[in-house]
Chain A
Amino acid sequence: GAGVSQSPSNKVTEKGKDVELRCDPISGHTALYWYRQRLGQGLEFLIYFQGNSAPDKSGLPSDRFSAERTGESVSTLTIQRTQQEDSAVYLCASSLTSGRWTDTQYFGPGTRLTVL
């Protein structure tokens, strides 16, 4: 496909369960970003990958959150022992490079996570 894809589009889980969210970036994009968007709020930066390394993990809200990326492709965001406060839309974006002057981020449609 031409754009960033994310799966699942919706996820309902019970408090305490682990969840995995997947992001497929645009082919050839080396940089990948995860954001969280709580209802009615702006985007909150979580983590950024350049290739499969994550130079900036400063936005991860707790040690229950982790992310991996395989090469310059798929990334998974894992939330362990989910809490109700984790309920949000999780958005993924990719960009061609991490160079400051070239990288426009293209966003996926997001995964809506609901923790009961």
Chain B
Amino acid sequence: AQTVTQSQPEMSVQEAETVTLSCTYDTSESDYYLFWYKQPPSRQMILVIRQEAYKQQNATENRFSVNFQKAAKSFSLKISDSQLGDAAMYFCAYRGNNNDMRFGAGTRLTVKP
């Protein structure tokens, strides 16, 4: 079974600085999707960014970018120019051939003004 590991239960960053959240996963599949979701206190899960495993180019969405290392099975999220509104739980997720999603345990990000 695929597993997703987020080794950082909590991270903090100064406003306007850059922070990187780590995620590793285990799979025997060659084609899959990876996601980062943000969950603010409102509980709403918000898609931040996604990456197709067959694409070598790292996905980027404005201030959010990923470092996808397929051989190492690593998928980190970089948040540049951090804003107070970025404070939330961040979940890394894996989606493979059987269509279910596997989530990591999450990283709580605090942004300091």
Contact = CB atoms under 8 A, between A and B. Distances in A.
Interface stretch (A13-21, A38-46, A63-71, A76-84): A38-46
Interface string B26-42: 00000101010100001
Contacts of A91: 43, 45
A7 B13 CA distance: 35
Contacts of B56: none
Given A41-B106, A101-B52, A33 B47 contact: no
Range, interface on chain A: 20 to 34
Interface string A38-68: 0001111100101000001011000000000
Contacts of B35: 104
Given A31-B99, A100-B33, A100-B97, A42 B91 contact: yes
Contacts of B31: 100
A110 B89 CA distance: 15
Interface residues of B, number: 27
Contacts of B105: 41-42
Contact of A42 (B95, B98, B103): B103
A107 B100 contact: no
Given A100-B31, A109-B44, A45 B98 contact: no
B106 A48 contact: no
B33 A45 contact: no
Nearest to B31: A100
Most chain A beta-carbon contacts within 10 A, residue among B37, B42, B97, B101: B101
The 8 nearest A-B residue pairs measured at CB: A107-B45, A43-B103, A42-B103, A42-B105, A110-B43, A45-B100, A42-B106, A109-B44
6 contacts: A42-B104, A100-B97, A107-B37, A107-B45, A109-B43, A110-B43
